[in-house]
Amino acid sequence: MGKLLRRLLWGCLLGVAIYAALAIYLGVAELGQSLAQFAWWRLAPVLALTLGNYLLRYLKWSTYLRVLKIDVPTKQNAVIFLGGLSMTITPGKIGELLKAYLLRTAQGVPMARTLPVVIAERITDLLALVVLMSGGIVAFGRGHTAALIVGCSVLLFIVVVGQRRLSLGLLHLIARLPGLSGFSHKLEEFYESTHRLFRPGPLLVAALLSVAAWACECAGFCLVLGGFPSTVVGLLLATFIYSATTIGGLPTPGGLGLTEGGMTALLAYTAKIDRHVAGAATLIIRLCTLWFAVIVGVIALFAFRRSVGLADDAAERMMDSR
C-alpha cells in the first residue's frame, strides 16, 4: 500500500500548491479575514450532508451489486465502497476502479464483472449533475453548452450499451487488436454486466439516488455560503454553481484547480460575492467534500488491509496498469 499512499500524498501536495496559489492571488490577509468571519459551527451540518451523499451513493453501489447477483457482507461491502473514496483525487474519480480489485480480493469476483459497476456509478453521477444544473440553466441562462455536451455523451453511451448487436460487434473488433485476442471472453463478460446495469429499471433507481446524493452536497455548499456575514445565495444558484464546477473539474485529479477556480469565479461573477469570500467558501466546501472523502477513504483502506489484506501491493500494480 506504500505506493498507493505516496500517490495520495502527491495529490495532497498538488492541492496544497493550488490552494497556496489561490490564496496568493486573492490576497492572503484578505482571505484569512474572510475565513475568520465564517460561522464554523456550520461544518457539522455540512459534513452530515456529505455523509448523506456517501450513504446514498453506497445504496446505489449496493443496488448495482444486487442487480449483478453479487452478495457481499454489509460491513465488508461498506469498507470496500468507502475505500474507493481514497481515489477521489484522480481524473473523473476513475481511480475508484480500485473497488473492483478490493471485491476480487475479498470475494473472488472477477473484475471484468464488477468494473462496469464503477463506470455505471460515474455515468449516473454525471447524469445527476446535469439534472441538477438544469434549473440554473433555465433561471440564469448559463451552462447550456457544457450541459448539452455532457448530457448527449451520457445518452449516447446508454443507447450504445442498450444495442446488444452493435456493442458486441464493437467488442469483437476490439478483441482483434494485437495483444487483445485473449481477452475476448472478459470483454463479453464486461459488456453483459454493463448491459444489465443500464436497463431502464436499474438506471432509473441509480439516477434518482445520484440526484439525491449530489443534492446533499449542493445543499451543503449553500450552507457554507450562508455562513459568511451578509452573504445570501439561494439554493438554486448554489446548486447550479456546485454542479457546473464539479463537471468542469473532471479533467484534473479530483477537479483540483479547475473546480476551485471555476467556483470562485462563478461566485464572484454570478452571485456578486466579494472574491475573498468566494475563495474562502470554495476552500471550505472542498475541505468538506473532496478532502473529507480522501480521509474517509484512506481510513477504510487501512481497515480493509487489516481485515482482508492487499497481498504484495497488487492493488497498486492494478492501478499502474490502468
- DSSP string across 11-40: HHHHHHHHHHHHHHHH-HHHHHHHHHTS-G
Q: Return the amino acid letter for 62.
A: S
Rg (CA), the chain: 20
pLDDT value at residue 160: 85
Per-residue cell: 24: 496568493
Q: What is the pLDDT along the chain (322 residues), one digit of tens a residue?
A: 556 667 777 777 888 888 899 889 889 999 999 999 999 999 999 999 999 999 999 999 999 999 999 999 999 999 999 999 988 887 766 778 889 989 998 889 989 899 999 999 999 999 999 999 998 887 777 778 878 888 888 888 888 888 888 887 777 777 677 766 666 677 788 888 999 999 999 999 999 999 999 999 999 999 999 999 988 899 999 999 999 999 999 888 888 999 999 999 999 988 889 999 999 999 999 999 999 999 999 999 889 988 876 543 444 444 444 4
d(CA 113, CA 272): 48
Per-residue cell: 237: 444558484
Q: Which residues contact 58 (CB under 8 A, 6 or more apart)?
A: 78, 81, 82
Eight-state DSSP code of residue 91: B
- Using alpha carbons only, give the angle 33, 38, 41 rounded to the nearest 5 degrees: 145
Cell 455515468 -> residue: 123
d(CA 263, CA 33): 19
Please say whether the beta carbons of 149 and 143 come within 8 A: no
SS3 content of the chain, % helix, strand, coil (to 5): 80, 0, 15
Please say whether the beta carbons of 238 and 222 come within 8 A: yes
d(CA 113, CA 197): 11
Q: Return the amino acid letter for 284.
A: I
Q: How many Cα atoms occupy the beta-carbon half-sphere of 162 within 13 Å?
A: 12
Strand partners for 91: 253
- Residue-by-residue DSSP string for 233-259: --HHHHHHHHHHHHHHTTTSBTTTTHH
Q: Return the amino acid letter for 105.
A: T
Please say whether the beta carbons of 211 and 235 come within 8 A: no
Per-residue cell: 59: 445504496
Tell the burial category of 254 from Cβ atoms under 10 Å away from its Cβ (0-12, 13-18, 19+): buried
Could you tell me the sign of the dihedral formed by the alpha carbons of 104, 109, 115, 117, in that order? negative
Per-residue cell: 3: 505506493
Domain ranges, ordered by start, for the chain: 2-108+203-320
- Using alpha carbons only, give the angle 29, 35, 38 rounded to the nearest 5 degrees: 150
d(CA 268, CA 320): 40
Please say whether the beta carbons of 312 and 301 come within 8 A: no
